[in-house]
Amino acid sequence: MSLKSLVGVSLDTITPSRETARRLIAAAARQLADARIKTVSPETRFCSAYTAIRTLPMTLGVEARTVVRLDYLRKQRNITEYSGDLVSDADVAECVEQAEALYSFALRWLKANKKDFL
């Protein structure tokens, strides 16, 4: 199932706007900051980092191997959120690293393609 097949079913099409982009960038920055706080639980850090990842990697043209890693993290997040399982320090570190990389990628993409959205 593709994202396109979900439009009108469980996803809506939205028109990008400068205001929305700025709010999402700021929200991702806050989530990343929260994910870096080592005095909170690994599960909270992991979920914060994962929330920052939700930046539509397909829209930005992220490499397929990165999408596979992000999907692994999505599955791990679901396990953590819905079963109460603990998350490993390695998965937290990877999630934070992937979130930081995707955030930087999104900023570079916006600078190159939609400067007025920054």
107 domain residue, yes or no: yes
86 domain residue, yes or no: yes
**Residue 22 near residue 107, CB atoms below 8 Å:** no
Q: How far apart are CA 75 and CA 6, in angstroms?
A: 19
56 domain residue, yes or no: yes
Per-residue three-class SS string for the chain? CCHHHHECCCECCCCCCHHHHHHHHHHHHHHHHHHCCCCCCHHHHHHHHHHHHCCCHHHHCCCHHHHHHHHHHHHHHHHHHHHCCCCCHHHHHHHHHHHHHHHHHHHHHHHHHCHHHC
- What's the pLDDT score for residue 116? 92
Domain extent for 62: 42-113
88 domain residue, yes or no: yes
Centroid of chain to Cα 96 = 10
Q: Nearest 5°: phi and psi at 70?
A: -65, -35
Six-digit token string for 21: 């982009």
Number of domains in the chain: 1
Six-digit token string for 39: 């005095």
**Residue in this structure with the two tokens 């934070």, named with its chain if needed:** 96
46 domain residue, yes or no: yes
- What's the pLDDT score for residue 70? 87
- What's the pLDDT score for residue 58? 58
pLDDT per residue rounded down to tens, the chain (118 residues): 556 776 777 777 778 789 988 998 999 999 999 999 999 999 999 999 999 988 766 567 788 888 888 889 989 998 988 998 899 999 999 999 999 999 999 999 999 999 998 8
- What's the pLDDT score for residue 21? 87
